[in-house]
């Protein structure tokens, strides 16, 4: 049974990896879907659109990078204008870098915080002004917000830890309107950016208790749960899905 029929979902970074899996899963659950992508690989975005449309829903891809607040807001406005509403916001897009803290530039700091934090704030602020009762704001962070298991993750971990406080505050602000806000923190997940057969994969797998990478389908399944009615009494929460890395 499709649990999200009649809902409109907006996903940032939906052309590949976890974002693509989320777009397909929410479409399978009955939602109409708009997702953003950087525009660097339009074929990937077209493939996601084609796959999601097989469920008979409206699906559209828009070029809007998280580093450009104006483009992100335009994409959100297009969603409301063309689809008539916004029920589910999934803040998925993000960037990653790894090097010693003393080697980062302030420009790199601004870029990381702009994409991983500012864009989430911008999208959530828009959603707060346009969502009706029962809306869902779901943000994809990282288990590195709670535990940095290797060197070089200072800037990334900082950007992801900021999402916890933001999520709790959004939940407090929007709770009276029955709009929930929750944070999902994945660990190592098999994507083209972090493949399970890479040179560094064995080191990451050794940190898990389950002994493997996660799958994008597992992340998408958790997002779908938070997007549905069964999770309506959960808000301001952080759910870590990392195979036991942080236990």
Q: Which helix (H) or strand (E) holds 11?
A: strand 8-11
Q: Which two tokens stand for residue 233?
A: 């009494």
CB atoms within 10 A of CB 165: 10
Catalytic residue among 104, 156, 213, 225: 156
Pick the closest to residue 231 from 240, 223, 243 (CA basis): 223
Buried b / exposed e over 119-151, threshold 16 CB at 10 Å, is bbebbbebbbebbeeebbbbbbbbbbbbebeee
Known active-site residue 156:
yes
147 neighbors 246 (Cβ within 8 angstroms): yes
Beta bridge partners of 63: 37
Could you give the CA distance from residue 179 to residue 12 in angstroms, rounded to a whole number? 19
By annotation, the residues acting in catalysis are 156
């Amino acid at each position: 049974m499709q649990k999200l029929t009649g809902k409109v979902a907006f996903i940032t970074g939906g052309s590949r990896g976890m974002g693509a899996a989320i777009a397909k899963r929410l479409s399978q659950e009955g939602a109409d879907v708009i997702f953003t992508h950087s525009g660097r690989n339009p074929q990937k975005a077209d493939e996601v659109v084609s796959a999601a449309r097989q469920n008979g829903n409206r699906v559209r891809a828009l070029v809007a990078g998280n580093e450009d607040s104006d483009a992100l807001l335009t994409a959100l406005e297009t969603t409301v204008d063309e689809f008539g509403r916004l029920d589910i916001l999934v803040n998925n897009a993000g960037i990653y870098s790894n090097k010693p803290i003393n080697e980062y530039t302030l420009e790199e700091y601004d870029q990381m915080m702009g994409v991983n934090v500012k864009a989430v704030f911008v999208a959530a602020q828009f959603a707060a002004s346009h969502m009706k009762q029962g809306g869902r704001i779901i943000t994809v962070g990282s288990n590195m917000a709670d535990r940095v298991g290797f060197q070089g993750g200072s800037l990334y971990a900082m950007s992801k830890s900021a999402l916890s406080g933001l999520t709790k505050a959004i939940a407090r602000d929007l709770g009276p309107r029955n709009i929930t806000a929750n944070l999902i923190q994945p660990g190592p997940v098999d994507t083209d950016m972090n493949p399970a057969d890479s040179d560094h994969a064995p080191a990451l797998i050794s940190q898990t208790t389950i002994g493997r990478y996660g799958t994008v389908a597992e992340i998408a399944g958790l997002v779908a749960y938070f997007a549905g009615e069964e999770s309506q009494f959960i808000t301001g929460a952080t759910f870590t899905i990392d195979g036991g890395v942080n236990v």
